[in-house]
């Protein structure tokens, strides 16, 4: 199977400082996740990858090792390197999440991401209320203030929103939840890629986020859990509306780019 490879490039969030190695991981990984090289098929052999990507054999081998560790590939003697079934992929890996294509995005995939957050984040907010140190609360409060100050700047607004949610995880002071913070960060960034502008009014969203902050400040774990649940339940409602509108929207708007809620 002949693969058309785009020029290598570096995503500054992934493999910082790893140069060509990181670029090769991304170049191959994106094509696996988007289905350009479908599950069950063999990866092009090493000489072809070297020629097509213009890199060394060692760069190809190291990249394949990374992708094997992420569950995307398996290597067997004499048979070569094969793409594993999607069920074997580490979908919680930030890179694997980030490599999904917006053009082929499945509504069920977005729903599953939201449901994962609905299970995890309210409980994290409750723990943060019990364990947050003053500096944690300051960081969460600053992110709320930055959201309020960026109502006319979607990029800055979403960046502050991202800090808010990851800061709640960090305030739990649990090493496993800190790892989840990086996963949720990627999930939120992924959701922001889907949208032109949030369907939830920023003013309403800020009020819901402040309710979480105030509960954490009071060390009221029950209120913090409830307040975070409200945010994610509201996002679920807007996601349902968005998916329904996208299903019925076959006009110019669908060709020009869709909107979805900030989840």
- For residue 193, the surrounding DSSP H or E stretch is helix 175-193
Query: 102-249 sits in which CATH class?
Result: mainly alpha
Residue in this structure with the two tokens 């307040």, named with its chain if needed:
227
Residue 212 φ then ψ, to 5°: -65, -45
pLDDT at 228 over 70: yes
| β-strand partners of 83 | 73
pLDDT at 177 over 80: yes
The CATH 1.10.10.10 domain(s) of the chain lie at: 19-90
pLDDT tens column, 57-66:
999 999 999 9
19-90 is a CATH 3.40.50.720 domain: no
pLDDT tens column, 180-208:
887 778 777 776 665 544 556 778 889 99
pLDDT at 253 over 50: no
pLDDT band of residue 112 (cuts 50, 70, 90) is confident
pLDDT band of residue 255 (cuts 50, 70, 90) is very low
The CATH 1.20.120.530 domain(s) of the chain lie at: 102-249
pLDDT (0 to 100) of residue 7:
46
pLDDT (0 to 100) of residue 192:
67
CA 8 to chain CA centroid, nearest Å? 22
How does the average pLDDT of the chain come out, rounded? 83
Average pLDDT, integer, range 38-44: 94
pLDDT at 263 over 60: no
As a dihedral over the C-alpha atoms of residue 248, residue 251, residue 253, residue 256, rounded to 10 degrees, the angle is 120
By percentage, how much of the chain surpasses pLDDT 70? 80
- Do the Cβ atoms of 74 and 84 come closer than 8 Å? yes
Ranking 13-17, 74-78, 97-101, 244-248 by mean pLDDT, the lowest is 13-17
Identify the residue with better confidence: 145 or 260.
145
pLDDT (0 to 100) of residue 50:
92
- For residue 197, the surrounding DSSP H or E stretch is none
């Amino acid at each position: 199977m002949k693969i058309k490879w785009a020029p290598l490039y570096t995503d500054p969030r992934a493999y910082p400082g790893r140069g060509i190695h990181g670029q090769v991981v991304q170049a191959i990984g994106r094509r696996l996740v988007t289905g350009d090289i479908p599950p069950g098929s063999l990866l092009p052999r090493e000489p072809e990858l070297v020629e097509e990507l213009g890199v060394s054999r060692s760069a190809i081998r190291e990249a394949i090792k990374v992708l094997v560790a992420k569950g995307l590939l398996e290597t067997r003697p004499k048979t070569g390197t094969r793409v594993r079934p999607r069920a074997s992929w580490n979908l919680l890996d930030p890179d694997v999440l980030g490599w999904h294509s917006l053009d082929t995005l499945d509504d069920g995939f977005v729903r599953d991401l939201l449901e994962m957050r609905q299970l995890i984040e309210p409980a994290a907010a409750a723990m943060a209320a019990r364990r947050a140190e003053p500096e944690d609360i300051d960081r969460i409060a600053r992110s709320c203030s930055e959201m309020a100050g960026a109502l006319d700047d979607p990029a800055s607004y979403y960046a502050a929103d991202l800090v808010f949610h990851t800061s709640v995880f960090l305030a739990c002071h649990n090493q496993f939840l800190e790892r989840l913070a990086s996963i949720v960060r990627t999930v939120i960034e992924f959701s922001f890629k889907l949208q032109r502008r949030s369907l939830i009014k920023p003013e309403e969203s800020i009020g819901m986020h402040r309710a979480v902050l105030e509960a954490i400040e009071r060390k009221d774990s029950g209120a913090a859990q409830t307040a975070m649940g409200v945010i994610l339940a509201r996002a679920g409602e807007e996601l349902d509306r968005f998916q329904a509108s996208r299903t019925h929207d076959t006009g110019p708007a669908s060709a020009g780019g869709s909107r979805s809620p900030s989840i």
